[in-house]
Structure 1
Amino acid sequence: MSPDADECLPKLDLRLTQENPEDLYEHAPCGYCSCLPDGTLVKLNATLLGWLGYAREELVARQALPQLLTVGGRLHFETHGIPLLLLYGQVHELSYSLRRKDGTAMPVLLSAVLVREVDGTPLVVRAMLFDITERRKYEQEMLRAKALAEERGAQLACANAQLIAQNEQLTRTIADLDGFVYTASHDLKQPIDNMMGLFEELKRTATFADPEAAGMLGMFGGAVQQLVGTIEGLAEVVQVQRQLEEVAVETVALQHLAEEVVRSLQPQASELGARFEFDFAAVPTLRMARPGVQSLLYNLLSNALRYAQPGRRPHVRVSTARAGMGTVLTVQDNGRGIDLERHRRHLFQLFRRFHPEVAGSGVGLYLVQRLVHQAGGRVEVDSTVGQGTAFHLHFPG
């Protein structure tokens, strides 16, 4: 080492090199003891005596090392520790509990070496003990945490199994309900059509003396038309669901499909002078069954025309954006708007309508939410009465 390096070292306090070996032994941070081959104690340091609560004369030549241990530890040391000492001459970190004078126990780790005579005869056992009270508390806390985690895991597994069973039951119930709705709407359609034909024939051929008859006939016709709309709405819900089950998910080009939907709405759009604006630059495609995407766009765009603000040219903007790992498809119009404070909870309920003065079935928004949920997404709505509405369809991935 160079002289310059010596100058960098801190000066040592010479008192640190003059430690008393006996003091080091007596007040070490661990317990020391020595005993004869039969276990009789011959020497203990002050640290160990302090742990045990005994005076030195109460133990030296009066008790054996195994007697300092609890019953279980004593049996283990005599049947396992001593044979290892005799065989290998040493043992390391055996976990025991010391039995204090007041009857309490103290967890320790015991390491020991066997010193032999020149001829190999055992002479003395030197043992060193470490207080592991805090370590044992930590281990017990870890065991409790593990047991609690296992219990919570079992509870979670049970809850998950119940949830799976309930979900399967719900899926079967929905399938049965869809089947019932489809059958009911199909079976009712023909009688309703017959009723409408008979009603039209009745208006054409019958005469009524009662001056109120015309009004009553109009009310009856309106009721029948409402019934027809309800049945057609039910049939549409089930039909869209069955189409999605039969068609695979694909990558749908939004620009082309949106233009196709607008062409199907051209008569209404031309009559109102509607203007459509598309911006799919951020996300040009969507992974979903094509009939589902078509139904989403058709229902939202047709609603934008149906609920246009009187005296205002409809302007409908359809766009996409990234949101984290997902996609947001937004359809925004400048129509009548919806009073969300009154109707937010019922916005997507089947057959709920918020502008009675405008003809409609109340099926469109229900279908929109159902299709988005089936794709693993959610729907958010912003709306101001008299200014317009924006539907934000959030899709994962």
Structure 2
Amino acid sequence: MRGVNYKMLPALDLRLTEENLDDLYENAPCGYCSCLPDGTLVKLNQTLLNWLGYARQELVANQCLQQLLTVGARLHYEMHCVPLLLLQSQVREVSYSLRRKDGGTVPVLLNAVLLRDAEGNPLVIRVTLFDITDRRKYEQELLRTKAQAEEQREQLRAQNEQLTRINADLDSFVYTASHDLKQPVHNLTGLFQEFERSATFHDPAAASMVGMFHEALQQLLSTIDGLTEVVQRQRQLEEAPVEAVLLQPFTEEIIRSLPQQREQPQPVFTLDFAELPTLRMARPALHSVLYNLLSNALKYAEPGRRPRVAVRTAWVEGVPVLSVQDNGRGIDLERHGGALFQLFRRFHPDVTGSGVGLYLVNRLVHQVGGRIDVVSKVGQGTTFRLLMPGLGS
């Protein structure tokens, strides 16, 4: 061989060429035995005897190979291996269990070769056996782990089905309750307005109390409307087909429908969908997401500052991302981050709202397998990044 410096190789220890063949057979790392075509044992090595716990004279010419096998293994050997040996003179890597003298078992892989005489008649079967105890333990552990995983997966599936039913029941309950409550509250509002029109108040504090009662009624109506909207949007998502929504005209239409904020400079919107012009999503769900984020950007604008809102799409590490950035009041995430998407949570009490918008946005995004990252600084603005795998066109 080129490049090999034979002078650097160690000198061959000639003792290695003087291996005792009998010792090599007797103490091989695998079991050897020879038997007649009917299975009668005629020779075994010491390794196999050590595995089984027998003396040589107990087996040679006294027992058959089949007698060393467990019941199932013996049936397989006689019905499968023996015919194969007669047909093709060998079998390879058949998994059996040997019976020890003390009643225990040794899992092995069996390889066998059938030798024939000059006339082609079966003469002797030479068998090699490999101890696979450690391999069998490993396989059993794998099977046990797989069974546990299957059991856990089945439990999770059952839990998910139960949670789905519970969520559906809760949605139905919320929708029914809000629907049933709305009419009585409207009736109460009408009665209160008639009461205000016809009643005469002599107590100076009455006007303040009437105002508080009116505000409480409006808050109750707002809460009922918010609950109804959550359930309706959820049902719309389940029923509406997924489609490729062209974002530029879709967003422009939403901007035109936004309510104008009183005493606020005209907002400036920047739209950039060049990298990802469309998203595959149910149109009502996407409308609800964008409408709530854009209306919040205007609603929570910094007083005296011209609102600037940027809506962009991009691919980030193969994931479509929709972002809405504003220069508004911002949110103290250290204080309120954990409750940002909770239902009816509001962080600017001086601004009217129901506390439903961000909850609904988060729920709809999660329904399509996405998540929301939020970056915000008080007094500087907020950026919502909606990471939605699988929704890019």
Shift of 1:189: 4.4
Q: Deviations over 1:56-109 (max 9, x none)?
A: xx8589941736775447977996799769967956457777788999876473
Determine helix, strand or coil for the equivalent of 1:268: coil
Q: Which residue does 2:173 correspond to in 1?
A: 176
Q: Deviations over 1:26-69 (max 9, x none)?
A: 63457766677898877x58xx246536xxxx858994173677
Say if 2:201 is the partner of 1:208. yes
Say if 2:147 is the partner of 1:150. yes
Code of the residue aligned with 2:173 in structure 1: it is D
Say if 2:341 is the partner of 1:348. yes
Contact 1:52–1:101 at 8 Å: present in 2 too? no
Q: Which residue does 1:111 correspond to in 2?
A: 112
Q: Deviations over 1:219-251 (max 9, x none)?
A: 333333333333333343344445445543322
Of the structure 1 ranges 307-316 and 152-161, higher mean CA displacement relative to structure 2 is found in 152-161
Contact 1:261–1:298 at 8 Å: present in 2 too? yes
In 2 relative to 1, CA 143–155 (structure 1 residues): closer, same or farther, beyond 3 Å?
same
Q: Which residue does 1:282 correspond to in 2?
A: 275
Contact 2:341–2:359 at 8 Å: present in 1 too? yes
Shift of 1:154: 3.7
Shift of 1:152: 2.9
Code of the residue aligned with 1:346 in structure 2: it is A
Gaps of 5+ in 1: none
Contact 1:274–1:314 at 8 Å: present in 2 too? yes
In 2 relative to 1, CA 328–188 (structure 1 residues): closer, same or farther, beyond 3 Å?
farther
Distance 1:36 1:216 in 2: 109
Aligned residues: 373
Distance 1:15 1:251 in 2: 77
Determine helix, strand or coil for the equivalent of 2:312: strand
Code of the residue aligned with 2:112 in structure 1: it is S
Distance 2:389 2:145 in 1: 34
In 2 relative to 1, CA 97–388 (structure 1 residues): closer, same or farther, beyond 3 Å?
closer
Q: Which residue does 1:376 correspond to in 2?
A: 369
Distance 2:309 2:234 in 1: 27
Select 1:303's aligned residue among 287, 296, 299. 296
Distance 1:334 1:78 in 2: 81
1:44-63 alignment runs, 5 A limit: 48-49=45-46, 51-52=48-49, 63=60
Structural RMSD (CA): 4.4
Q: Deviations over 1:375-394 (max 9, x none)?
A: 33222211111111111122
Select 1:227's aligned residue among 200, 220, 231. 220
Contact 2:332–2:376 at 8 Å: present in 1 too? yes
Contact 2:35–2:65 at 8 Å: present in 1 too? no
Determine helix, strand or coil for the equivalent of 1:392: strand
1:316-395 alignment runs, 5 A limit: 316-395=309-388
Say if 2:161 is the partner of 1:164. yes
Contact 2:371–2:386 at 8 Å: present in 1 too? yes
Contact 1:70–1:97 at 8 Å: present in 2 too? no
Shift of 1:141: 2.4
Select 1:188's aligned residue among 181, 184, 201. 184
Determine helix, strand or coil for the equivalent of 1:272: coil
Contact 2:244–2:279 at 8 Å: present in 1 too? yes
Q: Deviations over 1:150-191 (max 9, x none)?
A: 343244234423432442343233233223223322x23431
Shift of 1:126: 4.1
Distance 2:244 2:63 in 1: 77
Distance 1:162 1:170 in 2: 12
In 2 relative to 1, CA 394–179 (structure 1 residues): closer, same or farther, beyond 3 Å?
farther
Q: Deviations over 1:127-157 (max 9, x none)?
A: 5342401x35324422442243134324423
Q: Which residue does 1:138 correspond to in 2?
A: 135
Determine helix, strand or coil for the equivalent of 1:267: coil
Q: Which residue does 1:265 correspond to in 2?
A: 258
Of the structure 1 ranges 274-283 and 84-93, higher mean CA displacement relative to structure 2 is found in 84-93
Shift of 1:114: 5.3
In 2 relative to 1, CA 171–324 (structure 1 residues): closer, same or farther, beyond 3 Å?
farther
In 2 relative to 1, CA 81–245 (structure 1 residues): closer, same or farther, beyond 3 Å?
closer
Contact 1:32–1:129 at 8 Å: present in 2 too? yes
In 2 relative to 1, CA 339–52 (structure 1 residues): closer, same or farther, beyond 3 Å?
same
Contact 1:278–1:319 at 8 Å: present in 2 too? yes
Code of the residue aligned with 2:169 in structure 1: it is R
Contact 1:189–1:231 at 8 Å: present in 2 too? no
In 2 relative to 1, CA 173–64 (structure 1 residues): closer, same or farther, beyond 3 Å?
same
